[in-house]
Chains A and B, each alone.
Chain A
Amino acid sequence: MKKSCIAMLLAGGQGSRLYALTQNVAKPSVPFGGKYRIIDFPLSNCANSGIDTVGVLTQYKPLQLNSYIGTGQPWDLDVSDGGVYILPPYLGAHEQGSWFTGTANAIYQNLAFIENYDPENVLILSGDHIYKMDYAKMLREHLEKDAACTIAVLQVSLEEATRFGIMNVGEDGYVSEFEEKPKHPKSDLASMGIYIFNWQKLRKYLIEDEADPNSSKDFGKNIIPNMLRNGEKLWPYRFDGYWRDVGTITSLWDANMDMLSTTLINLYDPEWPISSRSPVCPPHYTGEKAEIIHSIVTEGCEIEGHVENSVLSPSVRVGEGAKVLYSVLMPGAVVEPGAVVEYAIVGENTVIKAGAHVGAEPDGTDAWGVATCGPDITIREGAVVPAAAMIYTGEEV
């Protein structure tokens, strides 16, 4: 069956800069924004854009991600002539095959999957970005511009530009130069790591790149520069909506706080729903003494204490007299009576015992940071977890 466009979602990243939060799960399955996991955003974008075939490339701690995606039903991706497929690395006969050695190599190892669908174009996505984007619009522009590759770009400040892959654009509007993390950026168009390739072209470059022993098998470092060198047409697709990379503790916390503002990203838009696998819990309960201010709360929560400027996931409990300020509580987290959690991320099913204090207000020093407790931890009664602390599962605090 020939498809106009299928998506390949790179979800194999270890997410090492999320430390305790990705100790046992892959980054795309980290809970986000109350009801979601990070991967809900690209999957929902695919479903909303009419892309019904998605390959999810996993290799690092994929168990939770696999069970979360399941048949793809929550995103309406359980269709008979496509759907969502988990693609782990595998071995062939005579021990051929290996772990994915780079983003391009991950796609190369799944050539057979893509050819099953014989698509005209392939959309390459990352599993660690928070945004709403109509890929169908991007695909239309890609076809109109007859591009070999269309790269979604975002305008950033010149200071920020040093952290991104930067596209320099020629007079005709096509990409003329690509610089990875330039010291002196010539342009402010940053690559979002979202590409649409003409499949036949991409296929050729993947095979060539694979044969190059010096290549690091990466889209940004190898494939895109090679295409530019050969004079292929690369078109920058300008995106001006909300987009955040959530690869670090600070950026993950920041993006969660953004969910409190509908002007930044509107999750209430029925035209572009972000879907997730719902645990189906009873509605949340707010007790006699509960105070909830400028926060989001969802199913299964039981709130008896004070919650302010925070993002609560399903089945979170906040006891009487407890305070939760500027924090992200992941599913099943418990804050017992009298405990304080501020400027913190608390992992799944972690219990903050009575009177404990996690995190601290910003004090203006460089040493300050968001305190993080990984999943399944018990912070004992009266314990203090300072700002910027990182508590791993299995640690005793």
Chain B
Amino acid sequence: MRDYHGIVFAYHDEPALRDLTANRTAASLPFCSRYRLIDFALSSLRNAGVLDVGVIMQRDYQSLLDHIGSSKAWDMSRKSGGLRMLPPFGLPQYHTGNYNGTIEALNAVSAYIRHIPQKHVILLLGNMAANIDLDAVIRQHEKAGTDATAICAGQDLASSHSRYLLGEDGLVKYIDLFRTGGKGVASLEGYIFNKDKLLELMDVCRTRNLYRFHQDAMTYFLYEAGGKMDVYLHPGYARIIRSVDEYYQASRDVLDPVKRRELFPADRPVRTKIHEDVSTYYGEHAKSHNSLVGDNCIIEGEVEDCVIFSGCHIGAGAKLKGCIVMRNCTVEEDARLEYVIADKQACFSRGATLIGSPNLPTVVPKDAKI
């Protein structure tokens, strides 16, 4: 058994995801035809043999609970240990409003963290599309012998992230908050921490009434406590999903064969809840170009540059371009959709037309009928 325990943050309720997170957290956003974003974090842990995992959640977690179920899909349904869902417990203040930051979220489940039998904790975002080789991260962390290792992006990222600037010893010297590009390396907000060190940070922040991870805890750790932190550069694709735009771009990114292989390498499979799905049927006049299509669909129309989830029906004569169509949507005959994100079970009637723009895709909420 590995001396590492996973903590996945699945409480984020990102306002910029608008209708997509009306009834779910960012971690349970459907992604790439059959997955939910949290599958990446859970699969990364599973593939590194880390099976004891806590998932921190706060509100709107029905879809997350339904998705994770017994956690058997990730082999985390164990006799001892395994996956635990962590709603807030302890102080009543944690039950209302949103967590103000990652440290507050950790403090809300501090009793759990104190009782973790392992020495090291791996912190991961639930709303990130990245297949991280945690085995390699752990090896590097053990070699460095530091209190912590930050998982950072090895590729350029377009959006805003905290960045770490490194000293000559290769360890983190400074932190720059919320930058787009610039010096240093972008944090993917994944960390390996010595558990006692992490508890110390949580305690310090609580006594000072601070709750943010990078702004508060990391500045304390680096500048006051003299903490030593190594950096692991994740070589593959990675996107943190915090807005509709980021969701749309990441969904389209998966159509690129190189990025797709980085997200779904053969030796580190992404596991997910298994649905009872049959094969997808293509009709006599179907066309499907540069698209990802889930199972259990009936495709009779034309799709191009699309991500179609399982259980969708695309009627004859319907034309879809640049769309993300979630589970069980129906697009009736001759409907035309461009640059639309259709949430689950949406229905587009015969002949309906809806055109968004690649820079501002139109979001159609769950169960909507157009």
A270 to chain B: which residues have CB within 8 Å? 276
Q: Which of A56-64, A105-113, A167-175, A277-285 contacts B (4 or more CB under 8 A)?
A: A277-285
Q: A275-B276, A298-B280, A298-B295 are in contact. Are A288 and B34 (CB under 8 A)?
A: no
Q: Is the interface of A mostly helix, strand, loop or mixed?
A: loop
Q: 29 A–B contact pairs at CB < 8 A?
A: A73-B72, A267-B279, A268-B298, A270-B276, A278-B274, A280-B73, A280-B269, A280-B271, A281-B264, A283-B33, A283-B295, A285-B293, A286-B291, A290-B288, A292-B288, A293-B282, A293-B283, A293-B284, A293-B285, A295-B282, A296-B279, A296-B280, A296-B281, A296-B282, A297-B280, A298-B280, A298-B295, A299-B294, A307-B282
Given A35-B279, A293-B282, A280:B272 Cβ within 8 A: yes
* Contact of A284 with B284 in the complex, beta carbons under 8 Å: no
User: Are B284's CB and A286's CB within 8 A?
Assistant: no
Asked if B296 is at the interface of the complex by the 8 Å CB criterion, the answer is yes
By beta carbon, the residue of chain B nearest A279 is: B269
Size category, A interface = 35 or more
Write out the residue numbers on chain B whose beta carbons fall within 8 Å of the beta carbon of A291: 287
Q: A294-B283, A296-B281 are in contact. Are A35 and B295 (CB under 8 A)?
A: yes
- B113 touches A (CB below 8 Å): no
In the complex, given contacts A283-B34, A284-B293, what are 19 additional A-B residue pairs having Cβ atoms less than 8 angstroms apart? A35-B277, A268-B298, A270-B276, A278-B277, A280-B73, A280-B272, A280-B274, A281-B269, A282-B32, A282-B34, A283-B32, A283-B33, A283-B295, A283-B307, A286-B290, A295-B281, A296-B282, A298-B280, A298-B295
Task: Evaluate contact between B291 and A285: CB separation under 8 angstroms.
Answer: yes
Per the 8 Å Cβ criterion, residues 238-291 of B in contact with A are 255, 257, 260, 263-264, 269-272, 274, 276-291
| A298-B279 in contact (CB<8A) | yes
B337 contacts chain A at the CB level, 8 A cutoff: no
**A194 within 8 A of partner (CB):** no
- Which residues does chain A contribute within 8 Å of B285, judged by CB atoms? 293
Among A270, A280, A291, A293: residue with most chain B CB under 10 A: A280
| Contact A283 B293, CB 8 Å, known A290-B288, A292-B286, A299-B34 | yes
Main secondary structure on B side of the interface with A: loop
B42 at the interface (CB under 8 A from A): no
Is the CB–CB distance between A260 and B293 below 8 Å? Answer: no
CA distance in complex: A280, B294 (Å): 11
Q: Does any Cβ of B come within 8 Å of A50's Cβ? A: no
A376 to B285, CA, bound (A): 34
Across the interface, B260 reaches (CB within 8 A) one of A282, A289, A296, A311, namely A282
Q: Give Cα A280–Cα B286 distance, bound, in whole angstroms.
A: 25
| Bound complex: CA A281 to CA B285 (Å) | 27
User: Shortest beta-carbon distance, B67 to chain A, in Å?
Assistant: 14
Distance between Cα atoms of A126 and B166 in the complex (Å) = 67
Question: Is B292 located at the chain interface by the 8 A CB criterion?
Answer: yes
Contacts of B281 in A (CB 8 A): 260, 262, 295-296
Which A residue's beta carbon lies closest to that of B292? A283
Q: Can you list the 10 inter-chain pairs with the closest CB atoms, starting with the nearest? A: A283-B33, A34-B279, A296-B279, A286-B288, A298-B279, A292-B282, A283-B292, A267-B278, A282-B264, A273-B276
Binding site for A on B (CB under 8 A): 32-34, 72-73, 255, 257, 260, 263-264, 269-272, 274, 276-296, 298, 307-308
Task: Report yes or no: A285 in contact with B260, Cβ–Cβ below 8 A.
Answer: yes
Least CB distance from B259 to A in Å reads: 12
Knowing A293-B284, A294-B282, A295-B282, say if A286 contacts B289 (CB, 8 Å). Answer: yes
CA A294 to CA B279, docked complex, whole Å: 12
Q: Which residue of A lies closest to B305 (CB)?
A: A288
**Complex CA distance for A289 and B289, rounded to whole angstroms:** 7
Contacts of B34 in A (CB 8 A): 282-283, 299
Residues B294 and A283 in contact, CB atoms below 8 Å apart: yes
Q: Counting chain A CB atoms within 10 Å of each CB, which of B33, B72, B298 scores highest?
A: B33
> Given that A282-B260, A283-B33 are known contacts, is A297 also in contact with B279, CB under 8 Å in the complex?
yes
CA distance A348 to B193 in the complex (A): 44
* Neighbouring B residues of A280 by C-beta, 8 Å: 73, 269-272, 274
Chain A residues whose C-beta falls within 8 Å of the C-beta of B284 in the assembled complex? 293-294
In the complex, A291 Cα to B286 Cα: how many Å?
8
Whether A288 pairs with B282 at a CB distance below 8 angstroms is no
B284 to chain A, nearest CB (A): 5
Smallest Cβ-Cβ distance to B264: which chain A residue = A282
Alpha-carbon gap, A280 to B308, bound state (A): 17
A287 CB within 8 Å of chain B: yes
Q: Which of A58-83 contact B (CB under 8 A)?
A: 73-74
Q: Which residues from A are CB-within-8-Å of B289?
A: 286-290
Within 330-356 of A, Cβ neighbours of B (below 8 Å) are at none
Residues in A with CB closer than 8 Å to B32 are: 282-283
A67 to chain B, nearest CB (A): 16
Pick from B278, B294, B307, B308: contact of A35, CB under 8 Å: B278
Instruction: Tell me how far the C-beta of B307 lies from the nearest C-beta in chain A, rounded to whole angstroms.
Output: 8
State in angstroms the CA–CA spacing of A268 and B293 once bound together. 16
A268 to B34, CA, bound (A): 17
**Minimum CB distance partner of B287 in chain A:** A291
User: CB-defined interface of A12-55 with B at 8 Å, one 1/0 digit per residue?
Assistant: 00000000000000000000011100000000000000000000
Residues from chain B with Cβ under 8 Å of A281 in the complex: 264, 269
C-alpha gap A267/B288 in the complex (Å): 22
Would you give the shortest CB distance from A107 to chain B, in whole angstroms?
Answer: 31
Chain A nearest CB from B276 CB (Å) reads 5
Nearest-neighbour CB distance to chain A for B273, whole angstroms, equals 10
Residues of B within 8 A of A290 (CB): 288-289
Q: Give B261's nearest chain A residue, CB to CB.
A: A282
B residues less than 8 Å from A298 (CB atoms): 279-280, 295
CB of A287 within 8 A of CB of B270, answer no
A284→B278 contact, CB < 8 A: no
Chain B contacts for A74, CB-based, 8 A? 274
B274–A297 contact, CB under 8 A?
no
Distance to closest chain A CB from B157 (angstroms): 23
- Of all chain A residues, the one with the shortest Cβ separation from B289 is A288
> Which of B264, B276, B280 touches A284 (beta carbons < 8 Å)?
B280
Question: Which residues on B sit within 8 Å (CB–CB) of A289?
Answer: 289
A35 vs B257: C-alpha distance in the bound complex, in angstroms? 24
- Whole-angstrom distance between the Cβ of A378 and the nearest chain B Cβ: 19
Residues on B with beta carbons closer than 8 Å to the beta carbon of A273: 276
Complex CA gap A104/B355 in Å reads 66
